[in-house]
Amino acid sequence: MIAKLIATGENRDAAISGLAAILDGVEVWPVRTNAGFLFNALLYPGFGTAKIDTAFIERNLDDLVPDPEPDEYLWRGAAMVALAESEQDESYPAGFRLNAPERRQVRLGRKGDIRAVSPDDGEIAAVTGFADDERVVVFYEGQAYEFELAARGTVAGHGAHDGEIEAPMPGKVTAIDVSAGHKIAKGQRLLTLEAMKMEHALTAPFDGTVVELNASAGQQVSEGLVLIKVEPEPSAQ
């Protein structure tokens, strides 16, 4: 046991409501908890009126155990968390594109399922959470859901850990900021790719040297094409 939650109230309904609110606010990751299960049990029909017995859990198990996979509105909630983090960096506003309406979008992945997700496309779950350079974790009704962060305003591209900067999606190269032989620093912008109504800055995964440049401004590229190859500095390997 890592925690015990207790709520009181003037009556059963008030106590249940208070405890459900506490469970809804649980943020524990990566350790798994039963907070989502307890949240569902508290709000299950019959529990509030105490119409339960020793077979309550077994009889309703399928309804009480949360779905381990997030619904669409949770994907959009995760996109909102990622965008909120990126918008703190005013040097590259998320969703920014010259001469076009803003289109906020994040490329998220989960268990091999990669999606371009916009929080503007529908209902958004009222999640809390955080994002870093590799992942987005959101909390909702006691559950924690982790997503891989493939692109959020700036992207490194597939294979970046090997120094091969690939196009993360089909698009048009709009700007190139380096040349072959160029010394670069981790996080430095290498080129800009326009795709899905957004401009994505592909950045250096580590300190190193550009040893190959296979793109030019105005070029249309397909997903997975190696655009730049970076050789890491010995200390960056």
State the chain's mean pLDDT as an integer.
83
- CATH 2.40.50.100 domain position(s) in the chain: 155-236
pLDDT of 118-168, one tens digit each? Answer: 888 889 999 999 998 789 999 999 999 999 886 544 444 444 456 888 887
> What DSSP character marks residue 234?
G
Confidence of residue 211 (pLDDT cuts 50, 70, 90): very high
Lowest mean pLDDT among 58-62, 65-69, 102-106, 216-220: 102-106
Q: What is the pLDDT of residue 205?
A: 82
Structure tokens at 35: 């907070």
CATH architecture of 155-236: Beta Barrel (2.40)
Ranked by mean pLDDT, the top range of 119-123, 139-143, 187-191, 217-221 is 139-143
Find, among 175, 179, 169, the residue nearest to 217 by Cα. Answer: 175
CA distance 207 to 192: 19
Q: Is 78 helix (H, G, I), strand (E, B) or coil?
A: helix
DSSP string, 114-128: EEEE-GGGS-----E
Tokens representing residue 50 in the block: 């105490």
Q: What's the topology of domain 72-151? A: Glycoprotein, Type 4 Pilin (3.30.700)
Domain with CATH 3.30.700.40 in the chain: 72-151
Instruction: Decide if 94 contacts 104 (C-beta within 8 A).
Output: yes
Per-residue pLDDT at 88: 53
The whole-number pLDDT of residue 3 equals 82
Decide the pairing of beta strands 171-176 and 220-221.
Answer: antiparallel
Helix axes 35-42, 12-24, angle to 10 degrees: 150
Q: Tokens 């992945």 belong to which residue? A: 109
Task: Give the least confident one: 104-108, 158-162, 187-191.
Answer: 158-162
pLDDT of residue 156: 43
Given this model, what pLDDT does residue 163 score? 82
- Tell if the pTM clears 0.85, that is, is over it: no
Residue 200 has pLDDT above 80, yes or no: no
Tell me how many degrees the CA angle 37-132-200 measures, rounded to the nearest 5: 120
Higher per-residue confidence, 152 vs 8: 8
Question: Among 17-26, 57-66, 166-175, whose mean pLDDT is lowest?
Answer: 166-175
